[in-house]
Amino acid sequence: MQHRIIVLGAGYAGAVAAGRLARRLRRADAAVTLVNAEPDFVERVRMHQLATGQDLKPRPFGEMFAGTGVELRIAKVTGVDVDRKTVAVAGANGAGELAYDTLVYALGSGWDAQGVPGVAEHAYEISGRPGALRLRERLARLGAGQTVVVVGGGLTGLEAAAEIAETRPNLDVALATRGDLGDRLSPKGRGHLRKVFGRLGITVHERATVTGVAADRVETAGGGVIPAAVTVWTTGFAVHPIAKETALEVTGTGQIVVDGTMRSVSHPDVYAVGDAAMATGPGNKPLRMSCASGGPTAWQAADAIAARLTGGKLPNVPIRYFNQCISLGREEGLIQYVTADDRAVRAVLTGRLAALYKELVCKGAAWSVANPTLGLPVRRRPVVRSGAAAGSAVREPA
Protein backbone atom coordinates (compact mmCIF):
# COMPACT_ATOMS: atom_id res chain seq x y z
CA MET A 1 0.00 0.00 0.00
CA GLN A 2 1.29 3.46 -0.90
CA HIS A 3 1.95 6.04 1.78
CA ARG A 4 -0.58 8.78 1.07
CA ILE A 5 0.84 12.30 1.11
CA ILE A 6 -1.58 15.17 0.55
CA VAL A 7 -0.34 18.72 -0.02
CA LEU A 8 -2.93 21.45 0.49
CA GLY A 9 -2.34 24.60 -1.55
CA ALA A 10 -0.16 25.13 -4.60
CA GLY A 11 1.46 28.47 -3.99
CA TYR A 12 5.25 28.68 -3.99
CA ALA A 13 5.64 26.56 -0.84
CA GLY A 14 3.00 23.91 -1.52
CA ALA A 15 3.91 23.36 -5.15
CA VAL A 16 7.62 23.08 -4.37
CA ALA A 17 6.94 20.65 -1.52
CA ALA A 18 4.79 18.40 -3.73
CA GLY A 19 7.31 18.30 -6.56
CA ARG A 20 10.26 17.69 -4.24
CA LEU A 21 8.47 14.85 -2.46
CA ALA A 22 7.61 13.18 -5.77
CA ARG A 23 11.26 13.34 -6.75
CA ARG A 24 12.49 11.99 -3.41
CA LEU A 25 10.15 8.98 -3.07
CA ARG A 26 9.40 6.02 -5.31
CA ARG A 27 5.96 6.09 -6.90
CA ALA A 28 5.32 2.49 -5.91
CA ASP A 29 5.75 3.49 -2.26
CA ALA A 30 4.25 6.96 -2.00
CA ALA A 31 1.35 8.78 -3.65
CA VAL A 32 1.67 12.57 -3.70
CA THR A 33 -1.59 14.47 -4.24
CA LEU A 34 -1.61 18.25 -4.65
CA VAL A 35 -4.96 19.92 -3.88
CA ASN A 36 -5.52 23.43 -5.20
CA ALA A 37 -8.54 25.53 -6.11
CA GLU A 38 -7.04 26.71 -9.43
CA PRO A 39 -5.51 24.66 -12.27
CA ASP A 40 -2.52 26.91 -12.82
CA PHE A 41 0.26 28.45 -10.78
CA VAL A 42 -0.20 32.05 -9.65
CA GLU A 43 2.96 34.15 -9.40
CA ARG A 44 1.93 36.05 -6.32
CA VAL A 45 5.02 38.26 -6.43
CA ARG A 46 3.76 39.68 -9.73
CA MET A 47 0.21 40.64 -8.72
CA HIS A 48 1.07 44.35 -8.84
CA GLN A 49 2.03 43.84 -12.49
CA LEU A 50 -1.22 42.04 -13.25
CA ALA A 51 -3.19 44.82 -11.57
CA THR A 52 -1.64 47.46 -13.82
CA GLY A 53 -2.65 45.70 -17.03
CA GLN A 54 0.38 43.51 -17.71
CA ASP A 55 -0.28 39.97 -18.90
CA LEU A 56 1.56 37.18 -17.11
CA LYS A 57 2.83 33.96 -18.62
CA PRO A 58 0.36 31.07 -18.09
CA ARG A 59 1.79 28.27 -15.96
CA PRO A 60 -0.62 25.29 -15.97
CA PHE A 61 0.11 22.73 -13.27
CA GLY A 62 -0.63 19.95 -15.75
CA GLU A 63 2.42 21.00 -17.73
CA MET A 64 4.61 21.90 -14.75
CA PHE A 65 4.12 18.52 -13.09
CA ALA A 66 3.95 16.36 -16.20
CA GLY A 67 5.85 13.13 -15.63
CA THR A 68 6.66 13.84 -11.98
CA GLY A 69 4.06 11.56 -10.42
CA VAL A 70 2.26 14.40 -8.64
CA GLU A 71 -1.50 13.89 -8.86
CA LEU A 72 -3.45 17.14 -9.19
CA ARG A 73 -6.83 17.54 -7.51
CA ILE A 74 -8.55 20.79 -8.50
CA ALA A 75 -10.79 21.53 -5.54
CA LYS A 76 -11.31 23.92 -2.67
CA VAL A 77 -10.32 22.73 0.79
CA THR A 78 -13.29 23.15 3.13
CA GLY A 79 -12.02 21.41 6.25
CA VAL A 80 -9.31 19.29 7.85
CA ASP A 81 -9.82 16.64 10.53
CA VAL A 82 -6.40 15.91 11.99
CA ASP A 83 -7.74 13.23 14.31
CA ARG A 84 -9.40 11.23 11.54
CA LYS A 85 -6.61 12.25 9.13
CA THR A 86 -8.99 13.41 6.42
CA VAL A 87 -9.42 16.51 4.26
CA ALA A 88 -12.83 17.75 3.09
CA VAL A 89 -12.84 19.22 -0.44
CA ALA A 90 -15.36 20.67 -2.87
CA GLY A 91 -14.74 20.56 -6.62
CA ALA A 92 -16.47 20.39 -9.98
CA ASN A 93 -17.77 16.92 -9.13
CA GLY A 94 -19.15 17.96 -5.77
CA ALA A 95 -17.93 17.50 -2.21
CA GLY A 96 -15.63 14.70 -1.13
CA GLU A 97 -13.13 13.53 1.43
CA LEU A 98 -9.46 12.56 1.08
CA ALA A 99 -7.60 10.39 3.56
CA TYR A 100 -3.92 10.93 4.24
CA ASP A 101 -0.99 9.38 6.07
CA THR A 102 1.06 12.59 5.91
CA LEU A 103 -0.39 16.06 5.37
CA VAL A 104 1.51 19.13 4.14
CA TYR A 105 -0.52 22.22 4.97
CA ALA A 106 0.33 25.09 2.60
CA LEU A 107 -2.91 27.06 2.28
CA GLY A 108 -1.00 30.30 2.70
CA SER A 109 -2.52 33.68 3.40
CA GLY A 110 -4.70 36.45 2.04
CA TRP A 111 -5.08 40.14 2.71
CA ASP A 112 -5.71 41.44 6.22
CA ALA A 113 -8.25 44.23 6.69
CA GLN A 114 -7.09 44.48 10.34
CA GLY A 115 -10.58 45.43 11.44
CA VAL A 116 -10.33 48.93 9.96
CA PRO A 117 -13.82 50.26 9.11
CA GLY A 118 -14.61 50.47 5.39
CA VAL A 119 -11.67 48.39 4.16
CA ALA A 120 -13.69 45.32 3.21
CA GLU A 121 -16.32 47.44 1.47
CA HIS A 122 -14.20 50.01 -0.34
CA ALA A 123 -10.55 48.95 -0.61
CA TYR A 124 -8.86 46.81 -3.27
CA GLU A 125 -6.20 44.17 -2.61
CA ILE A 126 -3.54 42.32 -4.60
CA SER A 127 -2.80 39.29 -2.42
CA GLY A 128 -4.16 37.00 -5.13
CA ARG A 129 -5.31 36.92 -8.74
CA PRO A 130 -9.02 37.71 -8.17
CA GLY A 131 -8.14 40.84 -6.22
CA ALA A 132 -5.50 41.93 -8.73
CA LEU A 133 -7.92 41.50 -11.64
CA ARG A 134 -10.59 43.48 -9.80
CA LEU A 135 -8.13 46.33 -9.24
CA ARG A 136 -6.97 46.08 -12.85
CA GLU A 137 -10.51 46.66 -14.10
CA ARG A 138 -11.00 49.61 -11.74
CA LEU A 139 -7.71 51.29 -12.63
CA ALA A 140 -8.54 50.99 -16.32
CA ARG A 141 -11.66 53.10 -15.74
CA LEU A 142 -9.88 55.91 -13.89
CA GLY A 143 -9.53 59.21 -15.67
CA ALA A 144 -6.49 61.49 -15.67
CA GLY A 145 -5.82 63.27 -12.41
CA GLN A 146 -7.72 60.87 -10.18
CA THR A 147 -6.04 59.73 -6.98
CA VAL A 148 -4.93 56.22 -6.06
CA VAL A 149 -3.85 55.75 -2.44
CA VAL A 150 -1.79 52.68 -1.52
CA VAL A 151 -2.01 51.94 2.21
CA GLY A 152 0.97 50.08 3.66
CA GLY A 153 4.69 50.76 3.55
CA GLY A 154 5.90 47.16 3.31
CA LEU A 155 7.39 45.58 0.20
CA THR A 156 3.98 44.94 -1.40
CA GLY A 157 2.89 48.54 -0.91
CA LEU A 158 6.13 49.97 -2.26
CA GLU A 159 5.97 47.79 -5.37
CA ALA A 160 2.29 48.52 -5.99
CA ALA A 161 2.70 52.28 -5.68
CA ALA A 162 5.70 52.36 -8.02
CA GLU A 163 4.09 50.06 -10.59
CA ILE A 164 0.86 52.08 -10.73
CA ALA A 165 2.73 55.39 -10.92
CA GLU A 166 4.99 54.18 -13.73
CA THR A 167 2.20 52.53 -15.73
CA ARG A 168 -0.30 55.37 -15.25
CA PRO A 169 1.67 58.62 -15.02
CA ASN A 170 -1.59 60.52 -15.56
CA LEU A 171 -2.87 59.42 -12.14
CA ASP A 172 -2.10 61.02 -8.79
CA VAL A 173 -0.52 58.16 -6.78
CA ALA A 174 0.03 58.39 -3.03
CA LEU A 175 1.37 56.04 -0.36
CA ALA A 176 0.22 56.12 3.28
CA THR A 177 2.50 54.37 5.76
CA ARG A 178 2.31 54.06 9.53
CA GLY A 179 6.05 54.62 9.88
CA ASP A 180 8.65 56.37 7.76
CA LEU A 181 9.13 55.54 4.09
CA GLY A 182 11.40 52.51 3.82
CA ASP A 183 12.07 52.44 7.53
CA ARG A 184 13.27 48.82 7.37
CA LEU A 185 15.91 49.68 4.78
CA SER A 186 19.44 50.97 5.22
CA PRO A 187 20.05 54.73 4.89
CA LYS A 188 21.26 54.23 1.33
CA GLY A 189 18.23 52.12 0.52
CA ARG A 190 15.86 54.73 1.97
CA GLY A 191 17.58 57.47 0.01
CA HIS A 192 17.22 55.59 -3.27
CA LEU A 193 13.59 54.81 -2.55
CA ARG A 194 12.79 58.48 -1.95
CA LYS A 195 14.60 59.43 -5.13
CA VAL A 196 12.60 56.97 -7.25
CA PHE A 197 9.29 57.88 -5.61
CA GLY A 198 10.04 61.55 -6.24
CA ARG A 199 10.82 60.88 -9.89
CA LEU A 200 7.57 58.93 -10.26
CA GLY A 201 5.60 61.73 -8.61
CA ILE A 202 4.34 59.60 -5.70
CA THR A 203 3.09 61.59 -2.72
CA VAL A 204 4.14 59.99 0.57
CA HIS A 205 2.13 60.34 3.79
CA GLU A 206 4.42 59.19 6.59
CA ARG A 207 3.41 58.30 10.15
CA ALA A 208 -0.15 58.14 8.93
CA THR A 209 -2.21 55.51 10.74
CA VAL A 210 -5.28 54.79 8.65
CA THR A 211 -8.43 54.55 10.77
CA GLY A 212 -11.07 54.27 8.05
CA VAL A 213 -11.68 53.92 4.32
CA ALA A 214 -14.61 55.39 2.39
CA ALA A 215 -15.48 55.29 -1.29
CA ASP A 216 -13.67 58.56 -1.96
CA ARG A 217 -11.13 58.97 0.83
CA VAL A 218 -8.80 57.50 3.42
CA GLU A 219 -9.12 58.73 7.00
CA THR A 220 -6.13 58.88 9.33
CA ALA A 221 -5.63 59.24 13.07
CA GLY A 222 -6.05 62.79 14.27
CA GLY A 223 -8.77 63.57 11.74
CA GLY A 224 -6.67 63.66 8.58
CA VAL A 225 -8.27 62.93 5.21
CA ILE A 226 -6.54 61.77 2.00
CA PRO A 227 -8.71 61.93 -1.15
CA ALA A 228 -8.83 58.57 -2.94
CA ALA A 229 -10.77 57.47 -5.99
CA VAL A 230 -9.20 54.05 -5.38
CA THR A 231 -7.66 52.69 -2.18
CA VAL A 232 -5.25 49.74 -2.41
CA TRP A 233 -4.82 47.92 0.92
CA THR A 234 -1.41 46.25 1.48
CA THR A 235 -0.91 46.34 5.24
CA GLY A 236 -0.07 42.68 5.75
CA PHE A 237 -1.39 39.15 5.41
CA ALA A 238 -3.81 36.97 7.36
CA VAL A 239 -3.38 33.20 7.20
CA HIS A 240 -6.07 30.88 5.84
CA PRO A 241 -8.56 30.24 8.69
CA ILE A 242 -8.94 26.45 8.37
CA ALA A 243 -5.97 25.51 10.59
CA LYS A 244 -7.43 27.52 13.47
CA GLU A 245 -10.59 25.41 13.28
CA THR A 246 -8.68 22.14 13.80
CA ALA A 247 -7.06 20.50 16.82
CA LEU A 248 -3.62 21.60 15.62
CA GLU A 249 -1.57 23.82 17.92
CA VAL A 250 -1.66 27.26 16.33
CA THR A 251 -0.66 30.78 17.26
CA GLY A 252 -3.15 33.56 17.94
CA THR A 253 -2.93 34.48 14.25
CA GLY A 254 -3.74 30.93 13.13
CA GLN A 255 -0.25 29.84 12.04
CA ILE A 256 0.63 26.21 12.76
CA VAL A 257 3.40 25.84 15.35
CA VAL A 258 6.17 23.67 13.90
CA ASP A 259 9.62 22.40 14.82
CA GLY A 260 12.81 22.83 12.80
CA THR A 261 11.67 20.27 10.20
CA MET A 262 8.33 22.08 9.69
CA ARG A 263 6.51 19.29 11.56
CA SER A 264 3.54 20.20 13.73
CA VAL A 265 4.46 20.11 17.39
CA SER A 266 1.02 18.69 18.25
CA HIS A 267 0.33 16.32 15.33
CA PRO A 268 3.41 14.55 13.90
CA ASP A 269 1.58 13.49 10.72
CA VAL A 270 1.12 17.16 9.73
CA TYR A 271 3.71 19.55 8.32
CA ALA A 272 3.16 23.24 7.61
CA VAL A 273 5.10 25.37 5.12
CA GLY A 274 5.11 28.92 3.86
CA ASP A 275 2.86 31.56 5.41
CA ALA A 276 0.84 28.87 7.22
CA ALA A 277 3.77 27.92 9.46
CA MET A 278 5.03 29.59 12.60
CA ALA A 279 8.65 28.72 11.95
CA THR A 280 11.74 30.38 13.33
CA GLY A 281 15.07 31.30 11.80
CA PRO A 282 18.34 32.73 13.13
CA GLY A 283 18.05 34.24 16.59
CA ASN A 284 14.82 32.28 17.09
CA LYS A 285 12.98 35.02 15.22
CA PRO A 286 9.77 34.11 13.36
CA LEU A 287 10.18 33.92 9.60
CA ARG A 288 8.29 36.64 7.77
CA MET A 289 5.44 35.78 5.44
CA SER A 290 7.10 35.88 2.05
CA CYS A 291 8.18 33.93 -1.01
CA ALA A 292 11.69 34.08 0.45
CA SER A 293 10.51 31.97 3.40
CA GLY A 294 8.15 29.72 1.44
CA GLY A 295 10.71 27.92 -0.69
CA PRO A 296 13.17 27.03 2.09
CA THR A 297 10.40 25.82 4.44
CA ALA A 298 9.07 23.61 1.61
CA TRP A 299 12.51 22.09 0.98
CA GLN A 300 12.94 21.46 4.70
CA ALA A 301 9.54 19.76 5.09
CA ALA A 302 9.84 17.63 1.94
CA ASP A 303 13.32 16.41 2.82
CA ALA A 304 12.29 15.69 6.41
CA ILE A 305 9.25 13.68 5.29
CA ALA A 306 11.35 11.71 2.81
CA ALA A 307 14.01 11.05 5.46
CA ARG A 308 11.51 9.83 8.02
CA LEU A 309 9.81 7.56 5.51
CA THR A 310 12.99 6.05 4.12
CA GLY A 311 15.15 5.92 7.24
CA GLY A 312 17.45 8.62 5.91
CA LYS A 313 19.16 11.51 7.64
CA LEU A 314 17.00 14.43 8.73
CA PRO A 315 17.86 17.78 7.09
CA ASN A 316 19.68 20.27 9.25
CA VAL A 317 19.88 23.32 6.99
CA PRO A 318 19.30 26.63 8.80
CA ILE A 319 16.78 28.89 7.08
CA ARG A 320 18.20 32.37 6.66
CA TYR A 321 17.75 35.52 4.58
CA PHE A 322 20.18 37.17 2.18
CA ASN A 323 18.34 40.15 0.70
CA GLN A 324 15.02 41.88 0.18
CA CYS A 325 14.17 42.39 -3.49
CA ILE A 326 11.92 45.31 -4.40
CA SER A 327 10.75 46.17 -7.91
CA LEU A 328 10.08 49.87 -8.42
CA GLY A 329 8.40 49.65 -11.81
CA ARG A 330 9.92 47.82 -14.78
CA GLU A 331 13.07 49.94 -15.05
CA GLU A 332 14.06 50.44 -11.41
CA GLY A 333 14.71 48.21 -8.45
CA LEU A 334 16.21 48.03 -5.01
CA ILE A 335 18.04 45.03 -3.57
CA GLN A 336 18.58 45.51 0.15
CA TYR A 337 21.13 43.07 1.55
CA VAL A 338 20.29 41.80 5.03
CA THR A 339 21.69 39.75 7.89
CA ALA A 340 20.63 36.13 8.36
CA ASP A 341 17.77 37.29 10.60
CA ASP A 342 16.57 39.87 8.04
CA ARG A 343 18.06 43.13 9.37
CA ALA A 344 19.27 45.62 6.76
CA VAL A 345 23.01 46.13 6.27
CA ARG A 346 24.69 49.02 4.47
CA ALA A 347 25.02 47.32 1.09
CA VAL A 348 22.33 47.81 -1.56
CA LEU A 349 22.00 47.33 -5.30
CA THR A 350 19.93 49.92 -7.16
CA GLY A 351 18.83 51.04 -10.59
CA ARG A 352 18.40 49.02 -13.76
CA LEU A 353 20.73 46.27 -12.54
CA ALA A 354 18.56 45.83 -9.44
CA ALA A 355 15.45 45.62 -11.62
CA LEU A 356 17.07 42.85 -13.68
CA TYR A 357 18.12 41.08 -10.48
CA LYS A 358 14.55 41.17 -9.15
CA GLU A 359 13.20 39.87 -12.45
CA LEU A 360 15.62 36.94 -12.29
CA VAL A 361 14.48 36.22 -8.73
CA CYS A 362 10.83 36.16 -9.85
CA LYS A 363 11.59 33.88 -12.78
CA GLY A 364 13.72 31.68 -10.55
CA ALA A 365 10.92 31.34 -8.01
CA ALA A 366 8.52 30.15 -10.72
CA TRP A 367 11.19 27.86 -12.20
CA SER A 368 11.75 26.25 -8.80
CA VAL A 369 8.12 25.10 -8.69
CA ALA A 370 8.69 22.86 -11.72
CA ASN A 371 12.27 22.04 -10.67
CA PRO A 372 12.09 21.71 -6.87
CA THR A 373 15.33 19.81 -6.40
CA LEU A 374 17.28 22.81 -7.74
CA GLY A 375 19.48 20.75 -10.01
CA LEU A 376 20.27 18.09 -7.40
CA PRO A 377 20.29 14.51 -8.68
CA VAL A 378 16.98 12.69 -8.28
CA ARG A 379 17.42 9.88 -5.76
CA ARG A 380 14.17 8.10 -5.10
CA ARG A 381 14.51 5.83 -2.09
CA PRO A 382 12.16 3.08 -0.92
CA VAL A 383 9.83 3.70 1.99
CA VAL A 384 10.70 1.61 5.02
CA ARG A 385 7.48 0.07 6.27
CA SER A 386 6.33 -1.31 9.59
CA GLY A 387 4.38 -4.53 9.87
CA ALA A 388 1.84 -2.88 12.15
CA ALA A 389 0.22 -0.52 9.69
CA ALA A 390 0.50 -0.42 5.94
CA GLY A 391 1.39 2.98 4.63
CA SER A 392 3.08 4.13 7.83
CA ALA A 393 6.68 5.14 8.28
CA VAL A 394 8.62 2.53 10.19
CA ARG A 395 11.19 4.32 12.16
CA GLU A 396 12.51 7.69 13.14
CA PRO A 397 16.14 8.26 12.18
CA ALA A 398 18.45 8.94 15.09
Q: In terms of domains, do 141 and 288 share one?
A: no
- Return the half-sphere exposure (C-beta side, CA atoms, 13 A cut-off) of residue 362: 21
CATH of residue 128's domain is 3.50.50.60
Least Cα distance to 302 among 2, 25, 11, 1 occurs for 25
Instruction: Compute the chain's Rg from CA coordinates.
Output: 22
The pLDDT of 316-336, averaged and rounded, is 94
Last residue of a domain, one of 287, 320, 353: 320
pLDDT at 316: 83
Report which secondary-structure segment, H or E, holds 70.
strand 70-81
Contact 150, 164 (CB under 8 A): yes
Contacts of 388 (CB under 8 A, 6+ apart): none
Q: Which residues are 173's β-sheet partners?
A: 148
More confident residue, 116 or 383: 116
Least confident of 5-14, 150-159, 318-327, 387-396: 387-396
Whether 395 maps to a domain, the answer reads: no
Report which secondary-structure segment, H or E, holds 199.
helix 187-200
pLDDT at 385: 63
Least Cα distance to 20 among 5, 42, 35 occurs for 5
The pLDDT of 76-81, averaged and rounded, is 98
| Tens digit of each residue's pLDDT (9 = 90 or more) over 344-390 | 999 999 999 999 999 999 999 888 887 876 545 455 667 776 533 33
Q: In terms of domains, do 118 and 209 share one?
A: yes
> Into how many domains does the chain fold?
2
Question: pTM for the full model?
Answer: 0.92
Q: In terms of domains, do 214 and 315 share one?
A: no
| Spatial separation of the C-alpha atoms in residues 354 and 335, rounded to whole Å | 6
| Spatial separation of the C-alpha atoms in residues 60 and 48, rounded to whole Å | 20
The pLDDT of 155-169, averaged and rounded, is 97
| Tens digit of each residue's pLDDT (9 = 90 or more) over 7-42 | 999 999 999 999 999 999 999 999 999 999 999 999
| Tens digit of each residue's pLDDT (9 = 90 or more) over 167-225 | 999 999 999 999 999 999 999 999 999 999 999 999 999 999 999 999 999 999 989 99
Least Cα distance to 175 among 53, 48, 43, 292 occurs for 48
CATH of residue 301's domain is 3.50.50.100
Residue 153 has pLDDT above 70, yes or no: yes
Residue 100 has pLDDT above 70, yes or no: yes
- Parent domain of 200: 113-233
pLDDT at 396: 37
Q: In terms of domains, do 126 and 92 share one?
A: no
| Spatial separation of the C-alpha atoms in residues 43 and 165, rounded to whole Å | 21
